[in-house]
Amino acid sequence: MALVTTMSWSGGKDSALALYYLLRDNRYQVAHLLTNVNAHYDRVSMHGVRVELLEAQARCLALPLHQVCLPEAPSMAEYEQHTQAALQELQAEGATHVAFGDIFLEDLRAYREQQLTQLALQAVFPLWQRPTLELLREYLTLGFRAVVVCVNEAYLDCSFCGRLLDEDFLRDLPAGVDPCGENGEYHTFLFDAPYFQQPITFQRGDIVRRTYPAPVSEAPLSAFWYCDILLNEE
């Protein structure tokens, strides 16, 4: 019997490729998408993508979408409380596993596993320790398409924000930037995939700069560039 699995879905390239592998693996039955959403702004946390675009992705996948609705600036305790509550609901619907698109961040994997252990859920990492350049080239070869919606100014300037994730983008990345942005260098919005029923049509909106307090009070503010993506009316 296939293992009922929830896909931790950011709406970007890594979770998209992880889902591709899961759908091809008979051991798993992907039953739900789970996404963290900033309820104050009605956007995907970190990526800044509008929830209506997230919902369009779920329709293209024909999978139910569950949102973890977080406050504007949640504490770690609030984040964990909301996430655990959402996972318990999915567990009640039969989920036994949760899949993630993480590639090589050991501390993040350990944190996810520790949180799931509290609910007797198991973590799945389809992309784990795959070379990131290899993954991105496979992603492009398979026909996935995404637009870059957020860049960390510490790694990339604003000219990278709003670009298509393609070979030209990959060639232009500065030295030291991970090809998949695994260190948080950039985030993406997926608008087409081999398993989508149809591409999502959209237009680019404004590009804006946002700053956030750094984890250490003496450190400079963290700065990010965001490209707003607008869903085209059908």
170/137 Cα distance (integer angstroms) = 9
* Per-residue pLDDT at 108 exceeds 60: yes
218/105 Cα distance (integer angstroms) = 25
Give the chain's domains with CATH numbers. Answer: 3-124 (3.40.50.620), 145-231 (3.90.1490)
78-102 tens-digit pLDDT: 999 999 999 999 999 999 999 999 9
Q: Determine which helix (DSSP H) or strand (DSSP E) holds 129, and give its type and residue range.
A: none
DSSP state of 173: P
139/193 Cα distance (integer angstroms) = 9
What is the percent of the chain with per-residue pLDDT over 70, rounded to a whole number? 97
Q: What is the pLDDT of residue 215?
A: 57
* Per-residue pLDDT at 65 exceeds 60: yes
* Per-residue pLDDT at 169 exceeds 70: yes
What are the start-end ranges of the E strands in 39-121? 43-44, 65-70, 97-99
Of the candidates 59, 33, 60, the one whose C-alpha atom is nearest the C-alpha of residue 192 is 60
Bridge-based pairing of strands 202-212 and 145-152 is unpaired
DSSP, collapsed to helix, strand or coil, labels residue 85 as helix
CA distances from 166 to 63, 101, 124, 137, 171 (A): 27, 19, 27, 9, 9
* Per-residue pLDDT at 188 exceeds 90: yes
* Per-residue pLDDT at 64 exceeds 90: yes
Tokens, residue 123? 């973590």
41/129 Cα distance (integer angstroms) = 34
How much is the pTM?
0.94
What is the percent of the chain with per-residue pLDDT over 90, rounded to a whole number? 91
Q: What is the pLDDT of residue 214?
A: 62
